[in-house]
Structure 1
Amino acid sequence: MTGTTAVPTTSASRTPGQIWQRTRGVLLAVLVLVVGGVAFAAFQSGGRHGRLDPRSPDPQGSRAVAELLQDHDISVDVATTLAETTAAAGPDTTLMVAGPNVLTAHQQRRLSAATTESGGRTVLVAPGRDSVTRLAPSVRAESSGPVAERSPSCALPAARSAGTADMGGVHYSTDADGATACYPDARHATLLVLPERRTGDTVLLGSPDIFRNDRLDKQGNASLALQLLGSRPHLVWYLPSLDDPSAAEPGSGNPDDSDNEGGGETSFISLIPSGWLWGALQLTVAAALAAVWRARRLGPLVTERLPVAVRASESTEGRARLYRKANARDRAAATLRAATRTRISPLLGVSPRDTESPEILLPAVAARLSIPGGDLGTLLFGPPPADDAALVLLTDQLDALEREVRTS
């Protein structure tokens, strides 16, 4: 315990090759994430836009229909906030809402109020049940179906002129007088035109496929899209954004707002845009699936031989170094004394449970060796050593005592 020795390298130490094998999976995953992030940033910075964006040349974008409208002297403006959209609404404007389901309930009510008073045309793309309730109260969103080639089966001039088109998605029904239901599927319309409101009207489309770049040249999609969006000289293409300030506006100031009846404070959840909630849910599901996947790889418990066998001397030497580093002479001395008492007790006929009792163990040792009990008490149950030299002396004395007991 007093000497300073170098810590030996045992076979349990990992080699650089073993460390690489254990960490290469994590490093590869980090590398993939970094490369993916850089590629995504480059992709975004290359002027590409999202789905149904009139500026996007991607297959899911709508740049082709926007350029066709401009060729027919229809001005196309993109709006990403509710304030821009409502300010542009008017009798000579068609308002195209590309993502009505992304809007909060408060935003949908404001949009409905603005379009009702505008006198223009409003085109809603695939609004769901909750969105229809606020944006077109007289309409019900029924079940959904696949997008397929469908015939108009209605008297709407735009539909009859376009003929067969790729329609489907959300199905709609209404009891409103004068509504025109086109491209039916299972007795429900996939294109619904509501009666005029102050010289304006509302068009509900169950699917956005006729506006996509990769579908515009199919069937009568181009004709139908141009007629639905080109009925007014001005088109406002509304792409709802999650960072729109109006998404966080509370509706407590409106006594008719059923989401916050009676005024007061709104809940924290109601201030979070629906897109973020869906994103959090998807991340939770992905994390659960990853946990299940990793758990299956562990497999059942099996027994196997250890790769190395650690000698008792190495364990003793390692513990001694820890005691010396912590200056734990009291712990070391207590361990040495307890081990000596345990080994000599069977030779003296003392029960192992009585090794901690000086009244029983010391008389038995004294009778065996004829040594004064006071010296034995100090040796086997005395105070901790004051320094390392005293600890070494105690070790030698305990060894001598044990040898005498064995040979006597």
Structure 2
Amino acid sequence: MSTAPHAAPPAPAPAPAAAAGPATPEPPASTSLAPGRRRLWLRSRWYLLTAALLVVLGLLLGGLAGRSTWPPLDPRSPDPQGARAAVVLVQREGVDLRTVDDVNALAGALREPGTTVVLPRPDLLSPAQLARLGAVPRGSTGRLILIAPEQGALDAFARGTTLVTAPDGFPDLANPISTPPACRLPEAVRADTADLGGLLYDAGAGDTGCYPRHGHQSLVRHADTADRDTVVLGTGRPFTNNRLDDDGNAALALGLLGAHQHLVWYLPDYNTAAPAAHRKQFSDYIPSGWNWAAVQLMVAAVLAALWRGRRLGPVVAERLPVVVRATETTEGRARLYHRAKARGRAADALRRATAHRLAPALGVPTAAGQPEPIALCTAVADRLGRSADDIRALLYGGPPTDDAALLRLTDDLDALERQVRQP
């Protein structure tokens, strides 16, 4: 019985496919278990391209992230978000600069008279540190500049000034824009319009509020005494290198930073998280309406799963063992080969089965279940009086190029076996 995946009616014994002339020996057929380089490339090209894209993207992100080690508003930084240009302007006016990164040194600077102290991101200090600094006796003359302080820092240094929680209707506050001063503060009057915004505040009694946005103030001057004050800024954008030449930013920076002979700039540790009292959770950034939307989507997903889920029917009893006809197994394997387009694997199986059946009929010894190719081809050629090269091309040739070639190979193998078995 033939093991071909397609049943064909018996045909008269034709000459093998190589009737046009002696066929040259071809290399052994490659099977689906040993795919060629082209097939491996076609299978893995998208994975390789995706991995290469991820590597390039990671290198780009790593390079962009590592371009600068300067923190924002650093007076030594030439980066766009640094404040070196503003400090150079102030130093040309005879003001000397020094930086401190320790709370004790910062407390000592607050005690010095005739000194301007710049405190970026005071919310990075703990409540205990803010309370300690707020209790430090300030110099008789001097100025403290708070950049984007939250309520804890305001209570420590500028009592009466309150932070305004930006309502959802003011999405432009995150991007400071050119704003007129609308106040009589000398530094603001000389600067005129400047890039202000960010956090907004309500000035306390006796304080001066400037650069209003949506009815609140972007700059507040809290006067402790006639010669000592605290300036609250909602953003440090007027001091940055890339915005210093916009509007009156340079004049405002020069007026605020150059009010006294000495300038002390505190460098906070930006790698330190904000204190727990001021730290925002991830849920704080999610609008309230999205929570209900997420619940509705989860309910919809559960209902869709119940709707589309497979429903199992009743249990069907079946007697064992189940007898499966050999033809069904052969046809099932043939369909699998056909669906996978494994013509080389199917041809290899047909050739091995034919060689395995021909060897005993010709008295050819077998090793590991298969005969030696040269001995088998020589024995078949002697029996039929044909060329050994033709027999070798038929039994050990290359894989078929299409389904029609596979059917022709099947017919040729059947014809060869019938001819060998004829008395």
Structure 2 counterpart of 1:25, one-letter code? T
Partner of 2:47, secondary structure, is helix
The corresponding residue for 1:381 is: none
Any residues of structure 2 matched to 1:78-227 within 5 Å, and which?
Answer: 78-89=99-110, 90-114=112-136, 116-119=137-140, 120-144=142-166, 145=173, 147-176=176-205, 178-197=206-225, 199-227=227-255
Any residues of structure 2 matched to 1:257-276 within 5 Å, and which?
Answer: 270=276
* 2:25 matches 1:25: no
CA drift at 1:155: 2.4
Partner of 1:223, secondary structure, is helix
State the number of aligned residues. 253
CA drift at 1:31: 4.1
Provide Cα deviations, 1:169-213, integer angstroms capped at 9, x if missing partner: 22211333x211122223322111112259521100122221122
Partner of 2:86, secondary structure, is helix
CA drift at 1:71: 0.5
CA pair 13-204 structure 1, distance change in 2 beyond 3 A: farther
Q: What are structure 1's unaligned runs of at least 5 residues?
A: 1-7, 249-268, 283-299, 315-408
CA pair 35-158 structure 1, distance change in 2 beyond 3 A: closer
Q: Is residue 104–residue 274 contact of structure 1 (8 Å, CA) maintained in 2?
A: no
Q: Is residue 72–residue 81 contact of structure 2 (8 Å, CA) maintained in 1?
A: yes
TM-score, length-normalised on structure 2?
A: 0.51
Q: Is residue 157–residue 230 contact of structure 2 (8 Å, CA) maintained in 1?
A: no
Any residues of structure 2 matched to 1:393-404 within 5 Å, and which?
Answer: none
The corresponding residue for 1:235 is: 263
Partner of 1:117, secondary structure, is coil
The corresponding residue for 1:56 is: 77
Provide Cα deviations, 1:370-399, integer angstroms capped at 9, x if missing partner: xxxxxxxxxxxxxxxxxxxxxxxxxxxxxx
Partner of 2:212, secondary structure, is strand
Partner of 1:207, secondary structure, is coil
TM-score, length-normalised on structure 1?
A: 0.53
CA pair 107-71 structure 1, distance change in 2 beyond 3 A: same
CA drift at 1:229: 1.1
CA drift at 1:137: 3.5
In 2, Cα distance between equivalents of 1:180 and 1:91: 23
CA pair 171-242 structure 1, distance change in 2 beyond 3 A: closer
CA drift at 1:21: 3.5
2:93 paired residue among 72, 75, 95: 72
In 2, Cα distance between equivalents of 1:13 and 1:81: 68
Q: Is residue 98–residue 238 contact of structure 1 (8 Å, CA) maintained in 2?
A: yes
Partner of 1:94, secondary structure, is strand
CA drift at 1:239: 2.5
Partner of 2:340, secondary structure, is coil
The corresponding residue for 2:398 is: none
Structure 1 counterpart of 2:236, one-letter code? P
* Higher RCO, Cα 8 Å, sep 6+: 2
CA drift at 1:86: 2.3
Q: Is residue 91–residue 200 contact of structure 1 (8 Å, CA) maintained in 2?
A: no
In 2, Cα distance between equivalents of 1:214 and 1:242: 21
Structure 2 counterpart of 1:61, one-letter code? G
- The structure that is helix-richer by fraction is 1
In 1, Cα distance between equivalents of 2:180 and 2:33: 75
CA drift at 1:94: 0.9
In 2, Cα distance between equivalents of 1:9 and 1:77: 77
Partner of 1:194, secondary structure, is strand
Q: Is residue 162–residue 224 contact of structure 1 (8 Å, CA) maintained in 2?
A: yes
Which has the higher mean CA deviation after the structures are superposed, 128-137 or 67-76? 128-137
Q: Is residue 141–residue 173 contact of structure 1 (8 Å, CA) maintained in 2?
A: yes
CA drift at 1:12: 5.7
Provide Cα deviations, 1:113-161, integer angstroms capped at 9, x if missing partner: 33x5345311011223454344434211114435333332222222222
How high is the sequence identity, in percent, across the aligned residues?
33
CA pair 20-227 structure 1, distance change in 2 beyond 3 A: same
Provide Cα deviations, 1:339-371, integer angstroms capped at 9, x if missing partner: xxxxxxxxxxxxxxxxxxxxxxxxxxxxxxxxx
CA pair 307-239 structure 1, distance change in 2 beyond 3 A: farther
Provide Cα deviations, 1:71-117, integer angstroms capped at 9, x if missing partner: 01111222333333223332222111122233333333333333x53
CA pair 179-32 structure 1, distance change in 2 beyond 3 A: same
* 2:336 matches 1:307: no
Instruction: Give the RMSD, CA atoms, in angstroms.
Output: 3.8
Provide Cα deviations, 1:38-67, integer angstroms capped at 9, x if missing partner: 5644x23xxx62322222223322111100
Larger radius of gyration: 2
In 2, Cα distance between equivalents of 1:234 and 1:26: 55
Q: What are structure 2's unaligned runs of at least 5 residues?
A: 1-28, 167-172, 287-304, 309-335, 350-423
